[in-house]
Structure 1
Amino acid sequence: MAPYNIAVVVGSLRKDSFNRKLAQALEKLFPADFSFTQVRIDDLPLYNQDDDGSPSAQVTRLKGEITAAQGVLFFTPEYNRSVPGVLKNAIDHASRPYGKSAWNGKPAGVLGASVGPIGTALAQHHLRNILAYLNMPTLGQPEAFIHNKEGLYDEAGNIGEASKKFLQGWVDSYVAFVKTNA
């Protein structure tokens, strides 16, 4: 196993999710000492504080994957100018019960892809507020508001040449951030 395991949380359930595609392509830009765990969030029950004492197997799995990671990458779409409910639900589950948050201290990276030219700027802003409360150091710069347009990917599904320099720079910054904060 690579020394740095990164939990990847994609806030979209859609089969052809722009953000899942971005996550898969971006992983290829990381150095060999980074590995990735795709965190499943589509099977989580709705968060209910009454369940904190006996979490479902899905919630236990989620918390275990986050706990085992040295960092977390969030790929968020933007729904109604904020994060999707399924992503917020996963965040709530892994942060509870109070005082036993799996997120605590995990270095985070926040990205998002959208068909709009400002990408997922507002959703990312909301997500950063949540992560600050959860005590997750979060890479501040560079920001990555990805416009999902022609040329973002090459024929093989890799990051295309037009975006590769910027996204490689983002990855390099996150790698250094994780190595400093993990």
Structure 2
Amino acid sequence: MTKKIRILGISGSLREGSFNTYALNAAKKLCPESAEIEIFSIAGFPEFIQGQDEDPPEIVTKFKEAIRSADAVLVSSPEYNYSVPGVLKNAIDWASRPYGDSAWEGKTAAIMGASPGAIGTARMQYHLRQIMVFLDMHPINKPEVMINNCAEKFDESGELIHEGTQKIIRMMLEALIEHAKRFA
């Protein structure tokens, strides 16, 4: 039996009823049998303050362990002020420190985002890709998953009901799995 690809899902939104967390839950259901997705909540991270990274809080240690044990990372995030939400950037910074002990290095990744707006997190995704370059991560380039007008694509219980979005998430997961196998 072939080992399943382990994907760590991270939502850049802590909001109750977050469409980005809904999107990660949809990805779990749409995930091919050759992989599995575990979602890690970044709620409760303290502010990153350099110098405290030598003895990080337990949540940071667990997060870094989860990243390291995963074959790939899947981030679903909203866009705040044309960029990455502060809570997500804070978690990224914690997991990249102290210098020389980044959990992100060499990690395969995919990015998606849900937004009530028309461009579906395009600017956030661009900025997150720039961050991933510095972290020496390997994000897939296509397909891009930008879930625009997201309130119309999920039902009131948070289930993804839009078939076109389901299809592109499946395609993204297949590409991520193949990418993870290449970098394994």
Whether these two folds match at TM > 0.5 is yes
Determine the C-alpha separation between the residues in 1 that align with 2:130 and 2:34: 30
Q: Which SS does the other structure have where 2:180 is aligned?
A: helix
- Can you list the C-alpha shifts for 1:147-181, whole angstroms capped at 9, x where unaligned? 1142x246871443243333322222222112222
Cα gap change, 1:159/1:99 in structure 2, threshold over 3 Å: closer, same or farther?
farther
Gaps of 5+ in 1: none
Matches of 1:159 and 1:180, distance apart in 2: 32
CA distance in 2, matches of 1:55, 1:167: 34
Partner of 1:177: 179
Supply the distance in 2 between the matched residues of 1:172 and 1:3 (Cα, whole angstroms): 13
What is the TM-score when the length of structure 2 is the normalising length?
Answer: 0.91
- Supply the distance in 1 between the matched residues of 2:85 and 2:24 (Cα, whole angstroms): 17
Match of 2:22 in 1: 21
* Distance in structure 2 (CA, Å) of the matches to 1:53 and 1:164: 42
Distance 1:131 1:99, change over 3 A: same
Q: What is the distance in 1 between the residues matched to 2:104 and 2:95?
A: 7
- Identity across the alignment (%): 43
What is the TM-score of this pair, normalised by structure 1?
0.92
C-alpha distance in 2, partners of 1:138/1:132?
9
- The change in CA–CA distance for 1:92 and 1:121 in structure 2 (over 3 A counts) is same
Distance 2:168 2:9 in 1: 20
Runs of 4+ deviating beyond 4 Å: none
1:130 aligns with 2:108: no
Aligned to 1:84: 85
Please say if residues 5 and 71 of structure 1, whose CA atoms lie closer than 8 Å, have aligned partners that are also in contact.
Answer: yes
Q: What is the CA–CA distance in structure 2 between the aligned matches of 1:167 and 1:60, rounded to whole Å?
A: 30
Q: Secondary structure at the match of 1:28?
A: helix
**SS of the residue 2:6 aligns to:** strand
Task: Output the amino acid matched with 1:134.
Answer: L
1:122–1:86 distance in 2 versus 1, CA, 3 Å: same
Aligned length: 180
1:36 aligns to what? 37
Deviations 1:108-166 (A, max 9, x none): 0000000011100000000000001000001011111111142x246871443243333
Q: Deviations over 1:69-94 (max 9, x none)?
A: 11000111000000000000000000
Distance in 2 (CA, whole Å) between partners of 1:106 and 1:143 is 18
Deviation at residue 30 of structure 1 after TM alignment: 1.3
